[in-house]
A = this chain, B = another copy of it.
């Protein structure tokens, strides 16, 4: 029996991980409606499944609903097709360590598999979470020979997970980071410090001069070649199997990194002011995703992209106040602002 290709292995893994993650949220809140499971196909090749949580909108003045989550999306996509020359040019710029051809006539075949999730809980004491695990391949054109095994030109893994609280609860930030550090350390101690730093740099809103949240990990371009952010001599995963093993450890760490936090925060009492602050922070989340995030911008510009799956990361509601007085020094809101302005090492 031939060994499974990396494509197949990643596909099987993200499918199982999606199911595990969605089931964990459903088990935590058995009285809430289930996630809506939306299977979709992409005309240009591939398919996916978006699992989405939202309460049915109430069109009367009934009291606010009481589910743990307010809005959540856990999406997997398994897509393939042809990368047009302009996209390859962009990829060459974003992934400088990749040996991509400079001017491929007619583009190049690609394959991408990944899981991406954003969960916005209702309680302002429970942080928003984002995670993403992805595998990308670019191959030589097969020139119409359907059974030919396409030659790999480039492949890499990327991913990460970061926490965005409205109120800073230090033990939650510590729990989250130490779970991720343990997962990373099993594959080389050089990983966590590099990925934590990358996360603080990536999830940064320049026009606000603040980070989106309290960090986590972020990485991209991980393959067997030299890596711009990882010293070459260090022990770290390099082969496809080794990096896939890291991806699985991180994916499996998602539930233990976040569900305990959500469990102890979702029922805490909160005030209308705290809710208002949470909605202002969600406005910042929208600003990051729409103005800054390369992944979202790339998605929105991709012809045939499934817009509803890309934008399911947006909160149900967000709020903008001109010169809000909330967030001042010496307040609970100001305590959060301080770590967003100056990222901290939590472990």
Contacts and interface: CB of A to CB of B under 8 A. Distances in A.
A291 B286 contact: no
A276 B308 contact: no
A281 to B, nearest CB: 14
A10 B321 CA distance: 30
A39 interface: no
A322 B308 contact: yes
Interface string A241-283: 0000000000000000000000000000001110010010001
Interface of A (DSSP majority class): mixed
Interface string A181-207: 000000000000000000000000011
Contacts of A312: 322
Contacts of A15: none
B290 A207 contact: no
Contacts of A171: none
Contact of A307 (B58, B73, B208, B308): B208
A148 interface: no
A318 B321 contact: no
Contacts of A207: 300-301, 305, 307
Contact of A308 (B58, B271, B297, B323): B323
Nearest to A291: B290
Contacts of A54: 321-322
Contact of A276 (B59, B206, B272, B305): B59
A291 B300 contact: yes
A61 interface: yes
A314 B272 contact: no
A319 B322 contact: no
How many copies of this chain?
2
Contacts of A320: 71, 311, 314-316
A52 interface: yes
B322 A52 contact: yes
A57 interface: yes
A98 B307 CA distance: 37
A38 interface: yes
B290 A286 contact: yes
B58 A283 contact: no
A272 B60 CA distance: 6
Interface string A28-55: 0000000010100000000000101010
CB-based closest 8 A-B pairs: A290-B290, A59-B273, A314-B320, A207-B300, A59-B272, A52-B322, A290-B291, A312-B322
23 contacts: A50-B322, A54-B322, A57-B276, A57-B321, A59-B272, A59-B273, A59-B276, A60-B272, A61-B272, A71-B322, A206-B300, A206-B301, A207-B300, A279-B317, A286-B286, A286-B290, A290-B291, A291-B297, A291-B300, A315-B320, A316-B320, A317-B317, A317-B318
Given A207-B300, A287-B290, A312-B322, 17 more contacts: A36-B322, A50-B322, A52-B323, A54-B321, A54-B322, A57-B321, A58-B272, A59-B271, A59-B273, A73-B322, A207-B305, A207-B307, A290-B290, A308-B322, A314-B320, A316-B320, A318-B318
Interface of A: 36, 38, 50, 52, 54, 57-61, 71, 73, 206-208, 271-273, 276, 279, 283, 286-287, 290-291, 297, 300-301, 305, 307-308, 311-312, 314-323
